[in-house]
Amino acid sequence: MHFSLGIDFGTNSVRALVVRCADGMEFGAAVANYPSGKQGVIIDPRDHNVARQHPGDLLACMERCVKEALGQAARRKGFRSSLIVGIGVDTTGSSPIPVDASNRALGLLPKWKKNPDAQCWLWKDHTSWQEAARITELAAKHRPEYIAKCGNTYSSEWFWSKIWRCLKTAPDVFDAAYSWVEMCDWVPSVLCGVEDPLKIKRGICAAGHKALYCDEWGGLPDKKFLSLLSPKLAQLRDRLYDKAHDANTAAGQLSSAWAAKLGLPVGIPVAIGEMDVHYGAIGSGIREGTLVKVIGTSTCDCAVVPASKKVKDIPGICGIVKGAILPGFFGIEAGQSAVGDIFKWWIESVCEGSDALYASLAKEAATLEPGGSGLLALDWNNGNRTVLVDPMLSGLLLGTTLHTTKAEIYRALIEATAFGARTIIERIEAYGVPVKRIVCAGGIAEKNPLLMQIYADVTGRTMLVAGSSQACALGSAVSAAVLAGVFKDFPAAQKAMTSLKDIEYKPRPAARKTYNRLFALYQKLHDSFGGVNRKADLSGVMKELLAIKSQSRK
Amino acid sequence: MHFSLGIDFGTNSVRALVVRCADGMEFGAAVANYPSGKQGVIIDPRDHNVARQHPGDLLACMERCVKEALGQAARRKGFRSSLIVGIGVDTTGSSPIPVDASNRALGLLPKWKKNPDAQCWLWKDHTSWQEAARITELAAKHRPEYIAKCGNTYSSEWFWSKIWRCLKTAPDVFDAAYSWVEMCDWVPSVLCGVEDPLKIKRGICAAGHKALYCDEWGGLPDKKFLSLLSPKLAQLRDRLYDKAHDANTAAGQLSSAWAAKLGLPVGIPVAIGEMDVHYGAIGSGIREGTLVKVIGTSTCDCAVVPASKKVKDIPGICGIVKGAILPGFFGIEAGQSAVGDIFKWWIESVCEGSDALYASLAKEAATLEPGGSGLLALDWNNGNRTVLVDPMLSGLLLGTTLHTTKAEIYRALIEATAFGARTIIERIEAYGVPVKRIVCAGGIAEKNPLLMQIYADVTGRTMLVAGSSQACALGSAVSAAVLAGVFKDFPAAQKAMTSLKDIEYKPRPAARKTYNRLFALYQKLHDSFGGVNRKADLSGVMKELLAIKSQSRK
């Protein structure tokens, strides 16, 4: 009997999952909330763009929840900690951490402990939007191939933007950092006791999607290009890495120190770290033809195409990276910068509601007909990641009257995210990546049947739901099991360890017809405000909404 | 010592005002709320466009509040009811009432009492939008001059649209109606005991602004044109009126029956009825060069130009009517379909707040800088009256993020109505009607200093506030005093009886600069969604809002 351990570092908490390799049964699961900042995120009331994370939270909370999960498992028959064959880790990203020459995160050192710039620069930190724009500009001019695979736009959420920003605004931190390590690479390196940043096994997933790494051009961006940003960034390149690895490679073996701390066998393999949604895609049963949507505060969409096939660059897609997600496949990632966050904004922040309001709005919104409110929204409250790749876009709500209700607005916001989801699917398919099956994972996929039905109606596709509520941690555990040799490859491990829930959301033809009309209007607004169409005729939008509204009442 | 009585019929209540003619001092004031429907408005939960009013409410509430106001005045030294020299009446409009051959409102008769279609069709009833569009179409083709003076668009709020709608959807009511009378004409006719609809003295104000009446083309629309709508409307023309009158004419003399009911002298003159804002403009001291804004649930803007001058037709303006408002002047009316109603929608309906929330949002919104929220809204939740004249437009809110607050949205909605106000001023001035002085009246002008300051900043004009809180009722009282011969003309009466409050809201240069940038964006959205510009480049709107936002923080 084999077990593997998946550890999933989210935005506000870390969770540990003990899984039986034979059938994916969860023997233990625990969560630990980060204590620092606001729900684990260090913010700056003067600048909404700031989002940092204390590295000490990561380690302390990991230790706590792993122990708790192991304790839970130990109360079940057939489990002993010595049966754990491997560990997999996934984290948010791009969340780079400045480290010293001994691979200690600066944020752990007394000198830097209280300096927000010396902490982990969390994925949703958007302070470096100007740097991102400049990188896009420079790459477009000098290295167009660099950004062709990430939708021709480099993001403020990504590795180089953040490090460059740090160099500009906190040069003392930059100078103190020997290297910078993605959270998904750093945690495994700590577990394996790696004390030299140059010896960290870095994953292709974060490297390829966030740091412009590609084997084709020799790894990270070349020094000449980096020196266009700053000579100091060119120098930093020597203290990063030359080669990134897919999930067939181990990050290392569990160190005796951490084995003792966690009560696990010394030397078991630790899988290469991947970003949460990528292991989440594995835990949701990703394969060729399947789109996995991890729907939470934001949404990530993942697809894979066999490495033997030719994949075109897809404009506006966050990344196409060989070896990301599954070894032997191109990994394709897209996403929406805010989904659950938009509902949270509306219900908790604007309407000042609690769980009860979520429930009552959901109930009321479920009684509304598609198009019945006359509302249309753009899901850009946190910018647009795919397909416009523009964090400087913002939300829009159109069609309000003196009778518009908060439930109608809630439903319009759900519909807006569904239109955003459809836009992504259509873009991927337009460039030759078929979407034959959609599996949704994440809290919203499980808890919001209204949203799932709207997604089915808007996209015209059946929405399936991943079997595990911890798809990311499960995917990490799958990777650990493959690495430990329990399975011959990922497909075999996925077959044994992952599943689907019984429920299926099927598109309803009448709703779909109405949503097709609304989606046409959404596209008009999308293209107009997104800059795709600079000669937009929007004169009919409000009237078409009224026409749809009056017809929805028949 | 002379006194006059002004009676002002609002949407939800009627108020009576006893005024000393010598100086406009208010000796008595009382309000009575209509008991029927929802706050006096008979609605239909299945159709938000329906808004009717029970004529019985008008008479019963008038009697009650007039008596109460007289009772109040009687407790003050120097007043006796016998010193009342005249009565003036203003009402909402266009609010036509179907009456029988004895000038009894159908809604007062047992047979029709419960039939909503037999009641007064209140100004804000929008059921007849299709009829309005058809009238616009037919007039454009056959009688362009008819609609040239009302912005080239006939409104669903107006006389012919409503009556035609009644003919189509409630033919029994239409057939039972001998005639139709505007509320502002009907109430004076009742006070004067007029028992034949053909003998009612109708005011030029409602006739010219709402019923396409003009002396130039012989009064109401000709029968040939009306028969294009329906032969029955052409027949109805014979049972309406040939001649409408300005405020130099009396509607009649107070009947003995109503004199007894109210405790007033028999035979005192009753002034011709005008729509509330028109008498409100008089009560606010309107004169050449002055724009009076009556700011309430909606806003009406009034200006006058001496009849000796040439006035161009102004596209999108509700009406330019000789003799409306002040005798001897062209009356120009414009307006915004919802102002206070938009704030009420946001605060009371969406945010479910009460007076306390109004206060706290106002306080918080007042601390925000112009442009500081990054938000921009269109004030079209109830359509656009001026300058687009399109009830089928709807509201829009743009620039929301995950941090947008309800106070920011409240402020953005105020700003949107300010941009709407500026659009009207600029349109009027562009066609040769100078606006040298702006006087605001109505509850919002008195109670919302934040809004008043924003209006000053957005328009770049000083905002003055009418001295009386009951500007409409005061204007009615002014008209009654002129008619009774207390003053030689309206300017003399206005000089004696009307005043301004001490407060002045002056534009602040820095705010104005920012608002100029925001107004440019407002115009882009306005013209694009309003159909003025069918090739709009909106790609920069969200980014310009962000730029303004970041600069507002310096």
Nearest beta carbon to residue A402 from set B341, B541, B543: B341
Q: What is the DSSP pairing of strand A96-99 with strand A47-53?
A: unpaired
B535 interaction partners in chain A (CB closer than 8 Å)? 535-537
Q: Does A357 touch chain B (CB under 8 A)?
A: no
Q: B3-275 belongs to which homologous superfamily?
A: ATPase, nucleotide binding domain (3.30.420.40)
Place of tokens 């809290």: A443
Q: Does B492 touch chain A (CB under 8 A)?
A: no
Res B153: pLDDT: 87
Is the CB of B529 less than 8 angstroms away from the CB of A537? no
B403 interaction partners in chain A (CB closer than 8 Å)? 48, 345, 349
Once rounded to an integer, what is the mean pLDDT over residues A263-292?
97
Once rounded to an integer, what is the mean pLDDT over residues B67-87?
97
Res A150: pLDDT: 78
- pTM value > 0.80: yes
DSSP A534: S
Measured between CA atoms, the residue of chain A closest to residue B344 is A402
Give the B window 529-548 contacts with A, CB below 8 Å. 529-531, 534-543, 545-546
pLDDT in tens, B163-200: 999 999 999 999 999 999 999 999 999 999 999 999 99
pLDDT in tens, B97-154: 999 999 999 999 999 999 999 999 999 999 999 999 999 999 999 999 999 877 788 9
- Would you state the structure tokens that stand for residue B26, as one six-digit string? 């208010």
Residue A381: strand pairing partners: A383
Q: Is the pLDDT of residue A389 over 90?
A: no
Is the CB of A546 less than 8 angstroms away from the CB of B394? yes
Residues A249, B528: Cα–Cα separation, whole Å = 56
Res A391: pLDDT: 83
Q: CB of A336 within 8 A of CB of A413? A: no
Place of tokens 């008619």: B483
Q: What is the DSSP pairing of strand A47-53 with strand A120-121?
A: antiparallel
**Mutation target vs A (from B364, B538, B549; most A CBs, 10 A cutoff):** B538
Place of tokens 């026409």: A547
Res A318: pLDDT: 74
Measured between CA atoms, the residue of chain A closest to residue B342 is A402
B3-275 and B340-425+510-553 share one CATH topology? yes
Task: Please give the helix or strand (H or E) that residue B28 lies within, else none.
Answer: strand B26-33
Residues A243, A219: Cα–Cα separation, whole Å = 6
Once rounded to an integer, what is the mean pLDDT over residues B210-225?
96
Q: CB of B403 within 8 A of CB of B273? A: no
How many CB pairs below 8 A link A and B? Answer: 142
Q: Is the pLDDT of residue A151 over 80?
A: no
Is the CB of B350 less than 8 angstroms away from the CB of A409? yes
What is the number of other CB atoms lying within 10 angstroms of the CB of residue A57? 23
Q: Does B313 touch chain A (CB under 8 A)?
A: no
Nearest beta carbon to residue A400 from set B381, B530, B536: B381
Share of chain A above pLDDT 90, in %: 94
A163 CA: distance to closest CA in chain B (Å)? 23
> How many helices (H) and strands (E) would you count in chain B?
20, 23
Q: Is the pLDDT of residue A496 over 80?
A: yes
**Mutation target vs A (from B542, B543, B550; most A CBs, 10 A cutoff):** B542
B277 CA: distance to closest CA in chain A (Å)? 22
Nearest beta carbon to residue B534 from set A345, A402, A539: A539
Res A48: pLDDT: 87
Q: B340-425+510-553 belongs to which homologous superfamily?
A: ATPase, nucleotide binding domain (3.30.420.40)
Nearest beta carbon to residue A402 from set B338, B396, B531: B338
A298 CA: distance to closest CA in chain B (Å)? 12
Is the CB of A406 less than 8 angstroms away from the CB of B539? no
Is the CB of B392 less than 8 angstroms away from the CB of A351? no
pLDDT in tens, B451-484: 999 999 999 999 999 999 999 999 999 999 999 9
pLDDT bucket at B554, cuts 50 / 70 / 90: low
Measured between CA atoms, the residue of chain B closest to residue A405 is B350
Q: Is the pLDDT of residue B531 over 70?
A: yes
Once rounded to an integer, what is the mean pLDDT over residues A401-422?
98
User: Quick one: residue B78, left, alpha or beta (phi over 0 = left, psi -120 to 50 = alpha)?
Assistant: left
Nearest beta carbon to residue A395 from set B400, B406, B541: B400
Q: Does A514 touch chain B (CB under 8 A)?
A: no
Q: Does B356 touch chain A (CB under 8 A)?
A: no
Residues A528, A540: Cα–Cα separation, whole Å = 14
What is the number of other CB atoms lying within 10 angstroms of the CB of residue A256? 11
Nearest beta carbon to residue B345 from set A349, A395, A402: A402
Nearest beta carbon to residue A401 from set B382, B397, B545: B382
Residue A387: is the preceding peptide bond cis (ω within 30°)?
yes
Give the A window 3-62 contacts with B, CB below 8 Å. 48
B345 interaction partners in chain A (CB closer than 8 Å)? 400, 402-404
Res A554: pLDDT: 53
Measured between CA atoms, the residue of chain B closest to residue A531 is B539
Residues B299, B319: Cα–Cα separation, whole Å = 15
- Would you state the structure tokens that stand for residue B147, as one six-digit string? 């609609």
Give the A window 407-436 contacts with B, CB below 8 Å. 409
Is the CB of B402 less than 8 angstroms away from the CB of A539? no
Per-chain mean pLDDT for chain A: 96
Is the CB of A399 less than 8 angstroms away from the CB of B395? yes
Res B362: pLDDT: 97
Q: Is the pLDDT of residue A473 over 70?
A: yes
A308 CA: distance to closest CA in chain B (Å)? 39
Share of chain B above pLDDT 90, in %: 94
pLDDT bucket at B526, cuts 50 / 70 / 90: very high
A133 phi and psi angles, rounded to 5 deg: -60, -40
Place of tokens 């075999």: A492
Q: Where are the domains of chain B?
A: 3-275, 340-425+510-553
Is the CB of B396 less than 8 angstroms away from the CB of A393? no
Q: CB of B360 within 8 A of CB of B354? A: no
